[in-house]
Structure 1
Amino acid sequence: MTQTTAIVPAPAAPVNLDKGPVIFVVLALLLGALAIGDAISPRQALLFVIGGLLGLTLYHASFGFTGGWRRFVVERRGNAIRAQMLMIAAASVIFIPLLALGSANGQALVGAFAPVGMSVLVGAAMFGLGMQLGGGCGSGTLFTVGGGSSRMVVTLVFFILGAVIGTAHLPWWLAMPSLPEISLGKTLGVPGGVIVTLVALGAVAAATALVERRAHGGLEKATPSPRKGLSRLLQGPWPLVGAGLALAGLNIATLLTAGHPWSVTFGFGLWGAKVAQAVGVPVETWAFWNWPGPAKALGSSVLADVTSVMNFGIILGAALAAGLAGKFAPKVKVPFASFVAAAIGGVLMGYGARLSFGCNVGALFSGIASGSVHGWLWFASAFLGSLGGVALRPLFGLDGFKTK
C-alpha cells in the first residue's frame, strides 16, 4: 500500500519588526493625538487617528492609483482599477444619501463638489501626467514618504511648490468657460444618483476586465499570501479588494467626523503658503488666500486644518506599517534623472490638483462618491494625462512599476 503525503504551503518566513521605528511611530501617533485633542479638539484628534489608519491601509495594500493605471496601460492588467471602482462604489451608496440629508448627528455634511470646466479638464490632465513622472498620486506620495522613500520626499517638496503656484493662478483659471457644480443626487434624486454612479463605475470595471481577457485570455488571480490572520493584518500584504473597502469605510468615517470627505492636496498648498509667508512672500494678498476658507486656514495653526492633520496621520500610519512589515529602510540615493522626473512630476501634480479641485482622492474618489460630475471629468482627463506620463517615463529611466 502506497502512503500519500499532503502537500502544504511553506510557512511564511518570520518577519523581523523594525522595532525602533515602530516604537517611535506608535509614540508619535499617541502623543500627536493627545496634543491635537488638547490644542484643537477631540474631533480633530480622531481625524488624525483616521489618517493613521488610512496610511496603514494604503501601505499594506500598496493601494495607489499611479501604478495601477500604469500597469493597465502597459500590461493590460486591470485588477487595481477594478478595486478602485469597488472602493468608490462602496462609498457612494452611503455618501449620496447622507449628503441629501445634509447633516448627521448634528454635524453638517458637505460633499466634494466643484464646477465642471476648463480648470478641471486642464488641471487633471497635468496631474495625470505628473503622477507618472513623480511616482505617486496625492495619497500615494504620502504613504510612500511614510514608508521611507527619499525620492518621494522630492516629489512631495515640489508637489507643495506646485500647489502654492496653483493658488496664485486659480482665479484666472476659474474665469475660463465652465458649467456650475452638478450633483447627480440632486439632479436625479438619491436613487437615480446612486444607480447612475454604480452603473458607470461598473462599466469602467467591465471595460478593464474585457481588455484584460482579450490580452491574456483571463483575469489575473490574486497571489495567495503566506501569512494568515493577525500576522497578515499587522504585517501585510493586504488584498486590494479588502483594502478598497477599508478605505471606503474610512472615507465615510471622515465625512461623518469632519463634515466633508477625505481630501489631501489643500494641505500641501497651505504648508507651502505658510513657508512662503514666513520668508516674506505676501501670499495673504493673493485672491485665493482671501477667500473665507483658505484665509481662515492661513491665519490658524496648521493643526486646525483637517486635511493637514489627516496627512500627518497618513505619513505616520504608513511608517508604522513599514516598520511592522520589517520594510522601513530609507534610501538616500536618488539618480539625477529620477530626481528631475520627481521634481517635474511634483510641480505638475501640485499645480494641476489646485486647478482641478483635488487629486485622485479629493476629486476622483470623494468627488464621484459624492455624486459630483466634475469627478468623472477629472477621471477621464487625468487618465489621458497619465498616458502621456507613461510614454515619457523611459526618458528618465523609469520603467517598471515599483512606485505607486
Structure 2
Amino acid sequence: MILGAYIFMTTPYTQLILYGLGLALGFTLFHARFGFTSAFRRLMSVGNVEGIQAHMVMLAVASTLFAIIFATGYTLTGATPSGNISPIGTSLIFGSFIFGIGMQLGGGCASGTLYHVGSGQSPTVITLIGFIAGSVIGAYHWGFWMNDTPSLGSFSLAESTNLGYFGAWMVQIALLAIIYWITVQFAKRRKPPIMKALPTERGWKRILRGSWPLVTAAIVLAVLNAGTLFVKGSPWGITSGFALWGSKIASLLGMDVASWTYWSGDKAEALHSSVFQDSTSVMNFGIILGAFIASASGGLFKPKRFKKGVALASLVGGIMMGYGARLAFGCNIGAYFSGIASFSLHGWIWGIMALLGTFAALFIRPLFGLSNPHKNDHFC
C-alpha cells in the first residue's frame, strides 16, 4: 500500500497501473508455480511436455491480443505500440544459450527469480544478486557485442513480409498448434512422468489460497502481457530493470557508467532518473510483492537455509542469466514470451538456444550438487 501510494503521488498514472499489473503477474506466477526453467528442464530430461504445452497456449493468446493492438495502433496513452523485435546475430545465439544454462543453475528464470524471491525462497536472493551483477557486465560489454560481432538484423513476421498482422497471426497460430500437436503425440509414445498436482482449496478460495491450473495461468499471463502493451506501448520485460539497478549502484561506487554504449541515446535518461520512473522496475517491484502476498495469504512464506553448493550455483547461474539477457535482448519474458508474441523471429531463436543451453546444463547441475528429473519421478 505504501509503495503504491508513493508511485501514485510521484509518477504518471500509468506507472500505478503497471505496478498493479506487476502485482497480478506475481500473484499468478506463484499460484500456478508457472515455470519456464522447470518446463524446459522437464522437457529436455524426461520428455514431460505439460509446461511447454502451457507455453504454446500462452503464446497463442498473447499473439492474438498483440496482433489486435498492433493492427489498430491504439494504446491507453495514444502512443504507437511497438513490439520486442530485435536483431538476429552472434549476441542473440550466445546470450540465449548461456541464459539457458544459467536458469538451470540459478533455480529460476527472470520471472521465476522475482516471484521466488517474493515467496521467500532464499537461494533466489543470491540468484537475483548475480542476475544484477551479470546485467551490469553485459551492459559494459554491450558496445562490443553490438558493433564487433556479426548480425543479420531483425525480422518481423508481420512487417518484414507482406503478411501484415492478420497473415502473421494465422501463420504463428498454425505453428503453435503444430508444436502443441507434436507434444501430444510425443507424450503418447514416450509416456513421460506427469506433474504432481499441487495442494489446493476448493471453490472461490482456490483463487486466493489454492494452486491454479497451468493453462489458466497461461491465459492470465497472456492477458496481463497484452495489458502491459496497451498501457505503456511496449510488452512485458524484466531484465532491463536489473541492468538499471546495477548500473546505478556501479555509478555510486565511482564507475563512469554514463560513458558506456549501452547507456547512450534513449536509455541515458533512465540512468539519471528515479527507478520509480522506469516502468520495468515498477513492474518488477509489483511482481515481488504480488508473489509475497500470494504466498503469505496461503501460509507458504517460509524462508529456509540452503546448502553451499546451491548458493554457488545460484550466484553463477544469476550472473550467466544477467549477462546472457543483455546480449540476447531480453530473457524468457522480454525475448521469448514478448518476442514471439510480437512476431519477431529472434524470440523463436531465443527459445531454441535456451533449450540447448538447458540440455547442456543437465550435465553441469550435478557438479553443484543439483539433481535432475528422472523417468520414474512424479514431480511438481
Is this a same-fold pair by TM over 0.5?
yes
State the TM bucket, normalised to the shorter chain. Answer: over 0.9
> Which structure has the larger Rg?
1
Structure 2 equivalent of residue 298 of structure 1: 271
Deviation at 1:403, TM superposition (A): 11
1:202 pairs with one of 159, 177, 184? 177
Structure 2 counterpart SS, 1:108: coil
TM-score, normalising length from structure 1?
0.88
Structure 2 equivalent of residue 21 of structure 1: none
Cα distance in 1 for partners of 2:179, 2:196 equals: 20
Deviation at 1:165, TM superposition (A): 0.3
Structure 1 equivalent of residue 84 of structure 2: 112
**Is the 1:37–1:43 contact (alpha carbons within 8 Å) kept by the matching residues of 2?**
no
Cα distance in 2 for partners of 1:221, 1:118 equals: 36
Cα distance in 2 for partners of 1:149, 1:172 equals: 36
**Is the 1:135–1:403 contact (alpha carbons within 8 Å) kept by the matching residues of 2?**
no
Cα distance in 1 for partners of 2:155, 2:333 equals: 18
1:192 pairs with one of 161, 167, 183? 167
**Is the 1:273–1:283 contact (alpha carbons within 8 Å) kept by the matching residues of 2?**
yes
Name which of structure 1's ranges 68-77 and 111-120 shifts more when overlaid on structure 2: 68-77
Cα distance in 2 for partners of 1:366, 1:64 equals: 15
**Is the 1:48–1:312 contact (alpha carbons within 8 Å) kept by the matching residues of 2?**
yes
**Is the 1:67–1:403 contact (alpha carbons within 8 Å) kept by the matching residues of 2?**
no
Deviation at 1:220, TM superposition (A): 4.6
Cα distance in 2 for partners of 1:334, 1:273 equals: 29
Q: 1:210-269: per-residue Cα shift (whole Å, max 9, x none)?
A: 22221118x958848652222100012000000000001101110111111000000000
Instruction: Identify unmatched segments of 5+ residues in structure 1.
Output: 1-29
Decide whether aligned partners of structure 1 residues 324 and 383 sit closer, same or farther in structure 2, where only a CA change above 3 A counts: same
Q: Does structure 1 residue 79 correspond to structure 2 residue 50?
A: yes
Matched to 1:111, the amino acid is G
Structure 2 counterpart SS, 1:208: helix
Q: Does structure 1 residue 235 correspond to structure 2 residue 173?
A: no
Q: Does structure 1 residue 47 correspond to structure 2 residue 18?
A: yes
**Is the 1:112–1:370 contact (alpha carbons within 8 Å) kept by the matching residues of 2?**
yes
Deviation at 1:55, TM superposition (A): 0.1
Decide whether aligned partners of structure 1 residues 345 and 220 sit closer, same or farther in structure 2, where only a CA change above 3 A counts: closer
Structure 1 equivalent of residue 187 of structure 2: 212
TM-score, normalising length from structure 2?
0.94
**Is the 2:70–2:165 contact (alpha carbons within 8 Å) kept by the matching residues of 1?**
no
Deviation at 1:144, TM superposition (A): 0.3
Q: 1:289-320: per-residue Cα shift (whole Å, max 9, x none)?
A: 1222x211101000000100000000000000
Deviation at 1:207, TM superposition (A): 2.5
Structure 2 equivalent of residue 8 of structure 1: none
2:154 pairs with one of 139, 156, 181? 181
- Runs (4+) off by over 6 Å: 401-404
Instruction: Identify unmatched segments of 5+ residues in structure 2.
Output: none
Structure 1 counterpart SS, 2:357: helix
Identity %: 44
RMSD: 1.9
Decide whether aligned partners of structure 1 residues 334 and 224 sit closer, same or farther in structure 2, where only a CA change above 3 A counts: closer
Q: Does structure 1 residue 36 correspond to structure 2 residue 11?
A: no
